[in-house]
Structure 1
Amino acid sequence: MTAQKVLPKKAYSISDAVKYIAGNYNINVSEHDLLEYIQNGELIASIYLDGRMNKIDSINRKNIPKNKELLLRNEEIFLQFSQSETNSKIKHLKEFESIRIDLKNIYFRLTVILDDRFYNDDYFSTNDNIKLYSGEIERFVNILFNGYFNLSREIFSPYNINELIEQGFIDEFSDITMSTGEDFYFHIPVCENRTELYLDDICILHNDLITFLELFSVIDKSYDQVEDINRLTSKLKEQESIIIEKDKKITELKSLSEKTLNPKTENSYLNIIAALLETTLENNVFGSQNKLIEHLSSNYQGYIGLSEANLRKQFAAAKQSLKNL
């Protein structure tokens, strides 16, 4: 009896990868075998993550419990990418004193918000290969990411595979890394943690699985892969068209939000800010404007427009607006 062929997907669980290899290439392989290949560095494993600059919010689209919180060392973030090869989008948002970088492909999305005080415009316009390191001076305002990220073989190394399968998880989560060669490299170090990485959440990307099979020359040459490849290509194009359509809607919404306020509306907003500021200070809620600014910039860190510098600028403009009445 001939085994049924399995349609390709963007990513497979380890058990689904076993079925894909068996069904499409008539090769007997077990989950134990694949984990050994991962442990030896011959097959790349990945994990789907959703997070931001200071922590990971979900693993494999499942929220992380508070007692297993997965924090990130945001002072050691490193990002390197080629603008031409990654089709990145970089925009200087001068009104918010920030630079926004958007990178995406079929496997992940990454948005980086930088403090523009640390970067000259010509750095991005004259260099194709961009290197960014957060350091300890808060160059990065925020990072948002979701998608598939590679797992280092080192996290599998300490384990006996039989014992690992019986346990069902790796004891600790490792640093986040995504690399597509010289064109893109992204690294966020994870704080010491007790967040288990369950084997059921680990996946293998289709491209990595095919690379693995080709590496060992185990692909059945009698099997015509063209149909599979065409089907996968068609599906990816369909998904990309959906993403493009959503991006257009997002761009339209952004263009509406970024339209310049007419002077009358802007003065109206400034007057409201000035009135609220005077009321707050008169009631001695914070004692002084400086303490109010410190409170807002500290408690709303990372929110666009609420940096200390921008608050001082807007408060000054608001006061001047009232004086001009």
Structure 2
Amino acid sequence: MRRSDRLHNCRTFYRPIEAAIRWSGLDRFESRILEVVGARNIPGPEDFPRWPMLRLNVERIFDAMRNRELPYGRAGITCDNPSLLDDGELTVRHVDLRAWMTRFYPSHKPAFLFDDIERQLHPAISVEAVQALLADREALRTQLATYQSELEALRKEIKRQGPSERTLAPRSETTYLNIVGGLLTLLLGKSPSGTPYSSFETLESVISALIAHHEGRPGISERTLWAKFAAAKRQVSAA
């Protein structure tokens, strides 16, 4: 049902037969039904044989009023007076009808009482639950946007940093040089008996082998290796 049609069928209060017509989806036959029913509140058993749900829905509404499950009144004014159940001006308010149907007929969501989103919800899911989920989603979206903004700021900061700002911390640099220097000592050193630890005899041969096996990798160039190895040897010697 279009929104304009739904709003046209909505009122602040209804006669029981008017509510039953909308509940049964017989809106387009309303004038015909009201003409047949007249001042009565409930259609006769033989009035509308093609539409058995109409009478059933009217009886459901009256059953709820008799058992004080659905407030009723006269001309839109709520009044708990059983004598009104036979009054041609008997009415039920829109808000009371909606609350009653939500409680007792949760799988029934006629368009004149519930909007499109509510009609698509599973009966076990309340509007309040959906609203809570939507609020949580918006909070998460806001939090995600904040994190993305912070991440982008960090990326820009790193991009702006020069090479000197990206160097290792002093302690990490010392550790790194000690390890490299120690490895060089083993590669070029000899055991106490004079046996070489490796087949490498000079630092140049070590550098040549590294370039031959790992050429193209960051840091594996003759100039960088000579500089780093020299620094590592000085670090080990100083220690």
Q: TM-score, normalised by structure 1?
A: 0.22
**Larger CA Rg, structure 1 vs 2:** 2
Greater relative contact order: 1 or 2 (C-alpha under 8 angstroms, separation 6 or more)? Answer: 1
The structure whose residues are more often helix, as a share, is: 2
Structure 2 length-normalised TM = 0.29
